[in-house]
Chain A
Amino acid sequence: MRALSVSSEALDIRTRLLISLAVSGVSIYLSGTGPLLALGAATLLYVLTSGRYKVIAVSYLAVCAMMAFTVGVIVVSFRIGEWLVAGTAWERSVAMLKPAMLGNFHTPFLRMIPALNVLLAIGLDFSVQRFVGAMKSLRLPRVALVPLMVFCRFVPEFVDVIRQLRDAVRMRGFSLSFGAALLHPVQAVRLTVVPLTVRTLRMADHLSVAAEMKRVGYARRPTQLLALRFGKADFAALVAAAHILAALCAWQALIPATPYGPRAVQTEEAAHE
């Protein structure tokens, strides 16, 4: 299975972004359980090519936990609601709502799974270097490109500064934990705001000096030494994605409407008319 990850890494970040946009759009259009399950399965296969099975399993467990919690809250709420309105004029209304809410609660989660899969596929294969390269190859204007480059350079360094600050504070006998911040808010501000602000300003000054010296931002459209190109794998992935998504949309259009989806409501309204 690990060999699959080789083909996955060959995909351009722009291909992944395009696939995730298309999948998100189609998952909003789909409402049938069958098409949504099929989309979930197809995108699961796509993310499995990363070879990061453990991370994927943990993500799925988190979604399942979220789903169980939501279902629990909905069921308990309805039971309480039914008990409260028993014998009143509202009883019939609540009874009418019950199948709509409890019968269709899984649809948002079925929509969430394809989105989770495509986002995982991007996240598990993300590299700052390739992302910046992709943005450069999109010929972004310098007002967007230079801040993006600075941001990508700044984030890893800032994370390192926070780690060092945490060490420095602990060596002084204090903590930067959430609990400590709640108990001693003034002290937490003193221990974090001043050092972080000074360090950030210094980093910003160094970066601006470096940019001046390297003439970054002086040209409207800089040359790009390593231009990213769509490869065969990208082409194949995009064609496969287009076919699968088109087939799922066709399926959604042909199958009978889901009992409580938007098209079902429309059908009921038409019947009344």
Chain B
Amino acid sequence: MSEWMIRAEDVAYRYPFAEAPALEGVSFRLRRGEALLVTGASGCGKSTLLRLLNGLIPNHYKGALTGRLTVAGERLPVPMEALAKRVGTVLQNPDEQFFATTVEEEVALTLEWQCRPREEIRRRVDGALRVLDLTDLARRSVFTLSSGEKQKTTLAAILAAEADLVVMDEPTANLSPEATEALARLVLRLKRHGVTLVIVDHRLYWLRGVLDRLLVLERGRAVFAAERMPGGEDPLDLLAAQPRVAEWGLRRVDVSRPDLPPADTFGAPAVEIRSLTFRHSKKSRLIFDGFSANVPRGAVTAIVGANGAGKTTLARLLCGLAKPQAGEILHEGRALRRRDVRAHAAFVMQQMDIQLFMRTVREELLFSAPRTVPRADREAEADRLLGVFGLAHLAGRHPQSLSGGEKQRLVVACALMKRPALLILDEPTSGLDGRNMRVIAAQLAQFALDGGAALLITHDLELLELVAQCQLRIERNETP
């Protein structure tokens, strides 16, 4: 058996009808049991490389592949079935790859469809659940798991299937900092079990001490590669020393959790929350029980709290999308009707597809502006925001045809177009490269400087470090 799990020599690939190749002249090697990070700005070809490694290209996505690529001893292209046994994939959003409804069934699913004997499936499933500390959650519904538990379930399924190679597509995009640290430990544990890993991610800091190799792509070409030598430097340190890191649009290598002052003492309140009580239904858990807080004007406030603490629920309450059972929310000292609150607030939700309605990017921005603003002013503001968010060249495109990163910038621009007094953003930079993350951070800072109140729900430590000025902490209420 060859020591190499992956051997890529001069690999090039072009999607059907695409003008430029997604990958061009990419060469690298990866030994069994090693971990490789592939990073680069949005659209650099990271995900395309990942699709080549798990066989989705050219089996699911067609196109022209040249060069020599060998994965787990198979010279590509090979039928999907041949690679599916050897390669496991973790997508950015684990929800999108669940088929079963409980943890145990999801872990067993691949083996069931391989028609393995029931006793063997039981043994392998139990083993994988044990390795990933999921035994207690075996019968839990996958819909009730936290993001970190969902990632672990996906990994347990891969481990049970005894995959040699695991490819991960932005696995930390939806994870809290604590869950991200846990994932790093998990990757190390998988390496000890002899699993080879290819990780595609914008966030770099969590991979310190985990990586063996690193590859930076730019417009489909490998522009930097690093390897850990015995007793040598971490590949991330070698990357950080490169003068072109910012030019490549990467995120920072070292990020720390900022120590933010409480929002209550930060400044004059734009929103006052008084003795808020809320639960989704009579039978559901009490999420807020007499909760009080202030959101300061002219500042970016981070909403901090564990998964399930009620961060998004608070955002919906502040925007007038939900009604509290008791307590009041004062906007600029006044209790407004919920319809009026919605007129003065903007909410950028995580799911972007459902926030875009119009035929072109420019129309989408114009549609977001208040009807009271004169047409000429609306058009001038739309053009300004198109330029600021780097969307001017896409003004005539259909919003739904944009890439994920472009959609994220567009929905933030639409929120600013509304000229809100209160701007709430729920994970606005998950899956964004460093360059685009910094664009959004700069606009948020400007919004606060102009006197707006911005609330930020995010697990992105780098964004918090850049722009958050104070924090509003929510503790999970355990009252039934």
Binding site for B on A (CB under 8 A): 128-129, 132-133, 149-150, 152-153, 156-157, 161, 164-165, 167-168, 170-173, 190-191, 194-196, 198-199, 202-203, 206-219, 221-227
Query: Is B450 at the interface (CB under 8 A from chain A)?
Result: no
* Chain B residue nearest to A213 in the complex (CB): B89
Interchain CB contact under 8 A, A199 and B113: no
Contact of A223 (CB < 8 Å), options: B88, B115, B347: B115
Known: A164-B354, A195-B353. A173 touches B343 (CB 8 A): yes
Contact of B400 (CB < 8 Å), options: A133, A194, A219, A224: A194
Known: A167-B316, A171-B319, A195-B353. A215 touches B110 (CB 8 A): yes
Interchain CB contact under 8 A, B115 and A219: yes
Query: Is B114 at the interface (CB under 8 A from chain A)?
Result: yes
Min CB distance B54 to A, Å, is 6
CB-CB under 8 A from B351, the residues of chain A are: 161, 164, 199
* A-side interface mostly: helix
The 8 closest A-B pairs by CB, nearest first: A210-B97, A206-B96, A129-B101, A225-B108, A222-B112, A195-B354, A165-B354, A199-B353
Query: Is B321 at the interface (CB under 8 A from chain A)?
Result: yes
Interface residues of B in 34-93 (CB under 8 A from A): 54, 56, 59-60, 80-81, 84-85, 88-89, 91
What is the number of contacts between chain A and chain B, taking CB atoms within 8 Å? 138
CB-CB under 8 A from B115, the residues of chain A are: 219, 221-223
A193 and B389 CA atoms in complex are apart in Å by 27
* Chain B residue nearest to A168 in the complex (CB): B355
Contact of B104 (CB < 8 Å), options: A132, A157, A226: A226
Min CB distance A114 to B, Å, is 28
Query: Is B477 at the interface (CB under 8 A from chain A)?
Result: no
A227 and B119 CA atoms in complex are apart in Å by 12
Interchain CB contact under 8 A, B84 and A194: no
Known: A167-B321, A226-B105. A219 touches B114 (CB 8 A): yes
CB-CB under 8 A from B141, the residues of chain A are: 129
Query: Is B32 at the interface (CB under 8 A from chain A)?
Result: no
Interchain CB contact under 8 A, B109 and A223: no
CB-CB under 8 A from A208, the residues of chain B are: 60
Contact of B342 (CB < 8 Å), options: A150, A173, A212: A173
Interchain CB contact under 8 A, B101 and A171: no
Min CB distance B278 to A, Å, is 16
CB-CB under 8 A from B125, the residues of chain A are: 225
Known: A167-B347, A215-B113. A153 touches B101 (CB 8 A): yes
Interchain CB contact under 8 A, A171 and B342: yes
Contact with A along B105-141 (1 / 0, CB 8 A): 1001111111111100110010000000000000001
CB-CB under 8 A from B271, the residues of chain A are: none
A165 and B86 CA atoms in complex are apart in Å by 39
Known: A168-B355, A202-B353, A206-B97. A225 touches B84 (CB 8 A): no
Interchain CB contact under 8 A, B321 and A171: yes
* 23 chain-A/chain-B pairs, Cβ below 8 angstroms: A129-B101, A132-B101, A153-B101, A156-B143, A167-B316, A171-B321, A171-B342, A173-B342, A195-B357, A198-B400, A199-B351, A199-B353, A212-B59, A214-B109, A214-B113, A215-B84, A215-B110, A216-B113, A217-B113, A222-B112, A225-B121, A226-B104, A226-B105
* Chain A residue nearest to B84 in the complex (CB): A215
Interchain CB contact under 8 A, B110 and A129: no
Q: Which of B56, B122, B143, B368 has the most CB of A within 10 A?
A: B143
